[in-house]
Structure 1
Amino acid sequence: MHAEPTERNGAGSPGCLVVPAALLVLLAVVLLRPLLGDDRGAAPPATTATAPPAGTAKPSGRRPGVVNIESEQALRGTRSAGTGIVVTPSGLVLTNNHVIQGATSLTGTDTDDRRTYRARVLGYDKNGDLAVLQLEGASRLKPAVFGDAARVRIGDPVTAVGNAGGRGGAPSVVTGRVTALEQVVTARDANDGSVERLTGLIETDAPLRPGNSGGPLLNSAGEVIGVNTAASADYRMDSGDARQGAARGYAIPSGHALAVARQIERGEASATVHIGPTPLLGVRVRAGGGSGALVEEVVPGAPAEAAGVPEGAVIVALGGRPVDSPDELTELLLAHRPGDTVRLEWTGPGDGTRRAADVRLAEGPPQ
């Protein structure tokens, strides 16, 4: 299945994150919204920093290990940009899933050696918004140093580094302070209505911009304590007129990001982590007001078209398992690999007649 990238793809593809709260709605604009293993395949341990005395810490400057990521989505004729973090000298890079979502080709430019490499997706956690890339032919890169996010406290100074605006070149550097911990954000995909719930986030007042997604959030020692994933502005909805408030940035804590990265490096697929190439069904879907996934578009030449699935059909089962929503269709699809043959069932537009066909999944862009 090909699903349109969410509106959180960063520079070149503006979008929003909707975060409900009591009498308050946070609209988060995607910021430019592992990697592990050295040349022998062994992941280095994260470095734990000792927090400086309160009141003496200052934001750090830029540190090594930042990659500018360029993504092309040929199925929809768009391009976008984001940021990644070098984890090993051999070119394993950690980023957000939404930075690489829908990509048919990827490149990464290491901002230390200024070389551009073709990038290959090793795996991703769609729900956790994390992905791992391999920069092909890379060696002797300068990896970032990871700190211990468990030591982060409210008020700590932080630095966010990334490809702001998708301009490339030297990364932008902005500073701020930690304003909250253990935050929960719900991202809504404007294309199909699906939601993604991110938990345990570090909140800061660093002024993130589109293009910063996937980049490092640094402590005062210049160590990575988080992966920047979204930004928001407060809009008070109870007074009858929306008023923009203070901007906020959100980062996935480094410990969680590294744990997912190690799982991907080991090639361990799970209910949340997909390893390797992504299977393609060839439809863009959304919620249809009932059960199933409503087909809005069929990709020419893709398996769904070959099976005779029309626009307006509702997909109700895949591989013998019922499909209740677009999210469930994606989850069922990601349990397969390109080349697998699965039974697809749908109801036709208008008459609601149930139809079925065996389809051989092609290889498509990451979800």
Structure 2
Amino acid sequence: DFFDEEGPDGKPRKVSSLGSGFVIDPSGLIVTNNHVIEGADEIIVNFTDGSKLKVVKILGHDPKTDLALLLVQPTKPLKAVSFGNSSVLRVGDWVMAIGNPFGLGGSLTVGVVSATKRDINAGPYDDFIQTDAAINRGNSGGPLFNMEGEVIGVNTAIISPTGGSIGIGFAVPSNTAVRVLNQLKEYGETRRGWLGVHVQNVTDEMAFTLGLEAPKGALVASVTPDGPAASVGIKPRDVILDFGGQTIRSMRDLPRAVAAGTVGMDVPLKVLRNGEVVDVIVELGRLPKEEKDGPAPDERQGGSELLGLTIEPLTHELRDRFRISGKVEGVVVTGVAPGSPAAKKHIKVGDVIVEVTQEAVRQPDEVLARLRAVRKSGRRRVLFLLADAEGELRFVAVPIG
């Protein structure tokens, strides 16, 4: 790969970068990582027999899963590998990683599957295979094989303080790769499903308030107007427990399940609403480039009767002072006592209390009344729906002690 870069004299110079890849079609389709080819002016593929081919076209690339599909034009059919089923992988299964570590050429290392469904916060759809097979710089984009010689992963990332392998490597599962690569081949881009919600985890503190025996599901913090979820009545405070037959155990499960869905397909949901499970059918939309189904913008979990909060009506003056959007209504937080229950839950000055225990509030007296009602009921926590200045919503359960 060759990249333009400014040299010491200010003139452009060419620098090279190395990575790995593998052939999935004898006609010349090659898989690698997006970060291997991103920004390249020219891409040359070196084969194990010493031959070289220039990439004639990048058929598509997907930064969210770090995959790219390249096209070369060979004079004779290439040897291709086939994908296996990554969903049957078990921790302890033997695997082999092949790649081009540090530019040394084709190398094979052996290890086991250390974990599956690993989330390393690389993106919204993290679902990595973790392996202790040595993966070093230059291995990115290479195949991870099972013992049957099938590709069950695309080597993508390592965790290392030194830059070399310490036995913690990650690969995109083949089932994810196949779905993305098929779309790149057909459309030149990915076409992911879209629900139109921001979600957060259900904490231990929230579970009882929401009518759950234990934390599970994805708690809807906000719903995109005119999105698929809004069109079928999904609301903030709903907890999505099942998506198309897939159990949603935590917030992170939902974006992956939705993204894997087919645009235009009707998908059944099981939703917990006001303590009862209801069935909803939603038609998946297509994920717009600027949108995503994912965590609420502030997913931190996190009200002298008011739990350390000073609150005031949301006047024009306070709206201007805290630059609060005109679409936000509620009671504004103007002070938070250090070390208070509210402070420990990351409630901050400028936040707006929209609801208390699922009832809208517009005046401080209404907040106080709701809090007294919670105390009188014997519950140990109060559930706030808060908005930031831009109107993004999040739920916070605060102990009332």
Ranked by relative contact order (alpha carbons within 8 Å, sequence separation 6 or more), the top structure is 1
Larger Rg, first or second structure (1 or 2): 2
Q: Shorter chain as normaliser: what TM range?
A: 0.3 to 0.5
Q: Give the structure with the higher percent helix.
A: 2
What TM-score do you get using the length of structure 2 for normalisation? Answer: 0.43
